[in-house]
Structure 1
Amino acid sequence: MEESTGPAVTYGMRGRAFLVTGGSRGLGFAVARLLAAEGASVAVCGRDAEQLTRAAAELEREGAARVLTGAVDVLAPDALEDFTDEVGRTFGGLDGLVANVGGKRGGGLLDSTREDWQTTWELNGGHAVRAVRAGLPHLRPGSSAVLVSSISGWKPRFPAQYGAAKAAEIYLAGALCQELAPHQVRVNTVSPGSILLPGKSWDRLRLRDPQAYAAYAERNPNGRLLHADEVARVIVFLLSPASGAVNGAHVPVDGGQPQAGLDPRTG
């Protein structure tokens, strides 16, 4: 698999504390690892206790000041709120949070249920609202919240429920940044394009059907899919003091990708 390369970047995160939802693997873990390498305290949650244990060990090796993990299903009532409150109290406050959890249920309009749409909203926009609301009492003045949306949130595609939920996150950042201005908390959205992650859908396609994968990747201007750390660097920048004038922004990080993935109706 291709590896991303580039010079080391310093974001000035030493002594700061952050929470990343869905931070035990994938993009969330890439963000947590960058924060750890900066010497920040990092809390991550996910659903797999064993994966969380492995993630915590690696974050400690990377240099995190403190690491806190929680086995959290964001669909469970109060689970995200309880973990966020625990993190805030344990760390003595937060300097930022990343609402990274996402996902979808169901197929097209006629092949999905009301519950599919409700669950998709809760996994994306609903979870982002809950994370920011739960984090607010602990977020220090000058803190930053980053909502992880998707290319699907602004480049429409089938099926609609996922893109609609991700579009809501883009809107949320623009609205919440105004509402939270008195708290001196910034809110921005990052919309990644397709990311090549080990064991995930694009990697499985790459192994199962190299020609189909290559044909898709070559449609992108840079001729490939993204690496998680390429998106993570932008997210960490938005968490950092260097981005203090960036607020309510929607930042696409998609390499100029023309459309959001393969249409599942055609493969």
Structure 2
Amino acid sequence: MKTAKPGIKLMNKGRLTGWWFIAIAVIMIAAFYFYPMIQALLLSFKSGKGANLHFTGLDNYKRLFSDKTFLTAVKNTFIYLIIQVPVMIVLAMFISVLLNDSKLKFKGFFRTAIFLPCVTSLVAYSIVFKYLFGADGLVNMLLTKLHLISAPIQWITDPFWAKVTIIIAITWRWTGYNMIFYLSALQNIDNSIYEAARIDGASSVRQFFSITVPLLKPIILFTSITSTIGTLQLFDEIVNITKGGPGNATMSISQYIYNLSFKYSPDFGYAATVSYSIVIMIVILSIVQFKAAGEK
């Protein structure tokens, strides 16, 4: 009778030891990520108030298309997405190119200063923005003293300006975060490529569009997808700056989920359905971005 070779036994033992090392992490991820996700999916097919839920099939998903509040929240969220994400990505890329200049002094200071907003508390910075953009806040005061406006702008209570305030806030918060990715990618580009381009007579603008942008394509795709996911889940800024108002003019999808669960009469089944609508949107937009970027 043949016996297993010592080398094979050692290999199998090593594999088993490896599984023991990751077992706790796998169990925790399964318990706190996958199990709630599956339960939320099952919950999205149920309806009822509070804990009195019963299976209703696809009724909740059909309800989405006739829910005016949900459609308003989707429209608002996509306004933030379409305007803020491209502006933030372009700003992050532009700032990273400036901060990657070898001739720039105090680069460490500028990099830290621009990155600092993304480590501040979401609630704290949102409240600061609320007071800065108040009717008698610092922004209106400065604009009035500079004679750019004759009357205070209602940044918080006007539907249009409230959206502008939210876009400014999240752009300020997340531009530095995305800048770090671009800066890291730029530092990995061989400087000899730019030297060859300069010898060929390429201007700085031509170098940016012909060398920098193509080489940053994977990072642009990554930041676009992560920013899209973050914007579709936008919550803290909306709740703390405008509370979704005036009316529902600034309400996001995530705030609507919160309202369905805790503010209105609890409807956890429909709230789970709205939550999974975000998942569907993220999947569709990610596929579109991958196709647009030509990535497999």
TM-score when normalising by structure 1:
0.25
Q: Which has the higher contact order (CA 8 A, sep 6+)?
A: 2
Is the radius of gyration larger for structure 1 or structure 2? 2
More strand by share: 1
TM-score when normalising by structure 2:
0.23
